[in-house]
Amino acid sequence: MYVLRTIAVMALTLSASIVLAAGDVEWPINGGAYNIRYSPLTQVNADNVQKLEVAWSYDSHDAFKDSEMQSNPIVVDGMLYVTTPAMKVVALNAATGAEVWKFDPAGGVIAQRHFRQRGVTVYQDRLFVTYRNYLYALDRKTGHPIDSFGVSGKVDLREGLGRPADKLSVSASSPGVIYEDMLILGSTVPETLPGSPGHIRAFDVHTGTLRWIFHTIPWPGEAGYRTWPKNAYTVSGGANAWAGLSVDPVRGMVFAATGSASFDFYGANRVGDNLYANCVLALDARTGKRIWHFQGVRHDVWDLDFPASPSLVTVMRHGKPVDAVAQITKMGTVYVLDRLTGAPLFPIAYQKVPASALDGEKLSKVQAYPVLPRPFARQAFTEDMVTNRTPEAHAAVLAQLRSLDSHGIYTPPSLRGTVLMPGTDGGAEWGGAAYDQASGLLFVNSNEQPWIIRMVTHDTTSLYKNNCASCHGDNREGSPPTFPSLVNIGERRTRAELIAFIREGTGRMPAFDYLEKNVDEIVDYLLTGKDTGVIDPKVARQDPNWLKYRNEGYILFRDPDGYPPLTPPWGTLNAIDLNSGKIRWQIPLGEYPELVAQGVKKTGSDNYGGPVVTASGLVFIAATNFDKKFRAFDKLTGRLLWETTLPAAGNATPSVYEIGGKQYIVIACGGGKNGAASGSSVVAFALPESVPQ
């Protein structure tokens, strides 16, 4: 049934001219079938979109400071499944928004933590969701764990990776995909060391048994093993498909886009190209065997993960349709690869890049630069781009920029400090791209926001500095709001909460359970400021994960008033013609309400969450952090056709479905990004009955 539906949706995506049979139209897969965020529905169109109104809205009332909702709602059999800020799963009536059941994997006990969860996977009578290191199978009717799956309804994702489970930190922020009777899943692992391997796994949907595993950090004898040091397969981490996977059900292929190897910014202990990090991987969905791979960044030391799972598109080449894979990047580029072979469909230039001045770092001599399509984000932050918002902001940013290395992508991390532009959050991010085959247009939103990465010598005798300072700073000051300050944390958190945070991790913070009794010593330090957990530097250096350098923090480069430090646009929406490689249109996306009040409009802003495109030619996207808008654009021109303000920013991808002859467009409104207010509602829009349909 499920597979049939998938193929029906696929057939529709492949031929917009097919008329829909009577019946409901679902959104059964995260990112839509083929991961192209396309809906065949046409009831809402350019003529009536202005009349859209709220059909229903649901509030889970569990938002907290900086909490988010990244979930793309799944709609099957008249039910809608979505995750909430506190990582609960809720089932709603998709026509009314009425709650049917709720499942709380945390059991309601643990403090509010910023785990991220981009939604659920549905297979027949069951639903899969991840929470911390667990994969749960729930009964779709009741929300109760299915006892026959794994151990009491869950599988521990740290097990079966070939290393002691209690030393690993593994979760999954993106839902898995279904192929036949398997759930195929990527993972979220630490970006620091000690790492966990980002292997891709297929689990039996009924029992939770491991059916296959693909080693993204290859084992001896496997292809790619020589692109790492000999022992990497036992100690290295990362190369994980955190943004999810895409399935071609007809060909039986699964596609993954992987992130960097850990540690993100210094790779002296992982000399080599580090396959299969920063790759598009095509695997046989039945066996997990590699069919092809394409590496976008060799030996990444810039955190240039492929941030979204591949979009499975069909493009025109010499008048013929060619099935391809479109991979958007944090660099603000898109690779278009033949789906069967991985061969690039547009030219790629391999250009020389600078060497690193850090001891022991051996960077790749060349990196790939796609010639077409051209980048959709600026490729460096240079002096001519310094903000002119006010003379003071200009002067301050110029002085800071001159103190840093800023030569665009592949500027090596340095002790002086390096500007990452496009930055750690893109270019493109996890919202993914939407594709409309009729026009050949790929829609992708992008950030234009530089980050700063500064390396410091990692010669330390402090447990805190060794494990925590790369994110929370040497003096616990963090880089809020993304990396919170831990100064006076005792006033906000109990000892038990601090221990839970450190042992179990939260959001981008890995779990430090392996520190065992040292966890207590670190908590003592956080509460008293006295570092009792001192370690001998000689002992520290014998650890295979000891590195000479670490980063000083992840710093968002803002002007003194908190705005991006460069001239607008600060965020864009782009339509890229995948047939010709040309950018058809590019518009600023988002505004700062307080700047609009001063007459400074159309600046674009930080944006997270993706677009959808409908057969009627509309592109729907929220994503913008500060104006909380949800907008519809004409797919061919980028003209704004409709906008409304959401209760909190819609940092998620909308879903489009039809029930009882009515088309709905639904979005999770969780906010909470880069200091924006948080929310906990899901809002569905539809046309009022009075509009002729």
In the complex, the smallest distance separating the C-beta of residue 198 from ligand HEC, rounded to whole angstroms, is 15
Q: Could you give the CA distance from residue 166 to residue 159 in angstroms, rounded to a whole number?
A: 9
471 scored as a contact of ligand HEC (CB under 6 A): yes
Rounded Cα gap, residues 325 and 432, in angstroms? 13
For ligand HEC, the closer CB: 246 or 506: 506
CA angle 410, 588, 116 (to 5 degrees): 65
Least Cβ distance, residue 301 to ligand HEC (angstroms):
15
Among 507, 533, 553, 571, binds ligand HEC (CB under 6 A): 507
Which of these ranges, 336-344, 364-372, 401-409, 467-475, lies near ligand HEC under the rule CB under 6 A?
Answer: 467-475
One residue of 163, 472, 550, 629 binding ligand HEC per CB under 6 A? 472
**Residues 183, 193, 498, 683: which binds ligand HEC (CB under 6 A)?**
498
Q: Residue 249 corresponds to which tokens in the numbers above? A: 């059900």
Closer Cβ to ligand HEC, 40 or 484, answer by number: 484
Among 72, 260, 411, 506, binds ligand HEC (CB under 6 A): 506
For residue 115, the minimal CB distance to ligand HEC (Å) is 8
470 part of the interface to ligand HEC, by CB under 6 A: yes
**Cα–Cα distance between 123 and 567 in angstroms, integer?**
47
Judge contact between 23 and 265, C-beta under 8 A. no
* Inter-residue contact 671 to 678 (CB < 8 Å): yes
Contact 118, 509 (CB under 8 A): no
Q: How far apart are CA 271 and CA 229, in angstroms?
A: 6
- Find all residues with CB under 8 Å of 560, minimum gap 6, and list them: 392, 393, 396
CB of 678 to ligand HEC, least distance (A): 11
Distances (CA, A) of 26 to 174, 305, 311, 628, 659: 20, 31, 19, 26, 8
Question: 22, exposed or middle or buried, with CB in 10 Å at 0-12, 13-18, 19+?
Answer: exposed
548 binds ligand HEC (CB under 6 A): no
Q: Is the CA virtual torsion 19, 23, 24, 30 positive or negative?
A: negative
Other C-beta atoms lying within 10 Å of the C-beta of residue 376: 26
Whether 681 and 84 have beta carbons less than 8 Å apart is answered as no
Does position 557 interact with ligand HEC (CB under 6 A)? The reply is no
Instruction: In angstroms, give the least distance from the CB of 55 to ligand HEC.
Output: 32
58 and 92 in contact (C-beta within 8 Å)? yes
Q: How far is the CB of 145 from ligand HEC (least distance, A)?
A: 26
Q: How far is the CB of 514 from ligand HEC (least distance, A)?
A: 11
Is residue 512 a contact point for ligand HEC (CB under 6 A)?
Answer: yes
Question: How many residues can be counted in the chain?
Answer: 693
* Contact pick of 26, 62, 191, 504 for ligand HEC (by CB under 6 A): 191
Nearest to ligand HEC of 190, 412 (CB atom): 190
| 330 binding ligand HEC? (CB under 6 A) | no
In the complex with ligand HEC, the residue whose CB is nearer, 32 or 484, is 484
Stretch that binds ligand HEC, among 151-159, 222-230, 497-505, 661-669 (CB under 6 A): 497-505
Which is closer to ligand HEC, CB of 66 or CB of 273? 66
Structure tokens at 259: 């992130």
Q: Does 522 bind ligand HEC (CB under 6 A)?
A: yes
Amino acid at 102: K
For residue 608, give the amino acid letter: Y
List the structure tokens of 548. 């000479």
From CA 67, how far away is CA 179, in angstroms rounded? 32
Of positions 9, 241, 243, 486, contacts ligand HEC by CB under 6 A: 486
| Closest among 600, 652, 614, 656 to 630, alpha carbons compared | 652
Which x/- pattern over 49-88 shows residues binding ligand HEC (rule: CB under 6 A)?
-----------------x----------------------
Taking contact as CB under 6 A, which single stretch among the options 284-292, 480-488, 593-601, 630-638 is the one that binds ligand HEC? 480-488
Compute CA distances 502 → 66, 105, 508, 523, whole Å: 18, 19, 12, 9
- Please report how close the Cβ of residue 483 comes to ligand HEC at its closest, in angstroms: 5
| Chain centre to alpha carbon of residue 296 | 17
Minimum distance from residue 228 beta carbon to ligand HEC (Å): 22
Taking CB under 6 A as the binding criterion, the range among 6-14, 483-491, 600-608, 616-624 that sits at the site for ligand HEC is 483-491
- Nearer to ligand HEC among residue 60 and residue 674 (C-beta): 674
Q: Is 489 in the site for ligand HEC (CB under 6 A)?
A: yes
Segment contacting ligand HEC (CB under 6 A): 14-22, 129-137, 355-363, 488-496?
488-496
**Tokens 């400021």 sit on residue:** 529
> Minimal CB distance to ligand HEC: which residue?
507
Report the alpha-carbon distance of residue 300 to residue 294 in Å, rounded.
Answer: 14
* Binding residues among 109-138 for ligand HEC as defined by CB under 6 A: 114
**Residue 403 phi, psi dihedral angles, 5° rounding:** -90, 0
**Total residues contacting ligand HEC (rule CB under 6 A)?**
24
Least separation in angstroms between residue 652's CB and ligand HEC is 16
The pair of three-digit structure tokens given for residue 8, joined into one six-digit string: 């029906």
- CA distances 207 to 138, 247, 644, Å, are 12, 21, 45
* Least spacing, CB of residue 139 vs ligand HEC, in Å: 30
| Segment contacting ligand HEC by CB under 6 A, of 17-25, 84-92, 499-507, 559-567 | 499-507
146 counts as binding ligand HEC under rule CB under 6 A:
no
237 binds ligand HEC per the rule CB under 6 A? no
The interface with ligand HEC within residues 598-617 (CB under 6 A) comprises none
Shortest distance in whole angstroms from residue 501 CB to ligand HEC: 4
Question: Cβ 63 to ligand HEC, closest distance in Å?
Answer: 13
Q: State the Cα–Cα distance between residues 649 and 627, nearest whole angstrom.
A: 7
Q: How many CB atoms lie within 10 A of CB 297?
A: 25
Residue 527 binds ligand HEC, judged by CB under 6 A: no
Minimum CB separation of residue 8 from ligand HEC in Å reads 39
CA distance 389 to 558: 12
Residues binding ligand HEC (CB under 6 A): 66, 114, 191-192, 467-468, 470-472, 483-484, 486, 489, 492-493, 498, 501-502, 506-509, 512, 522
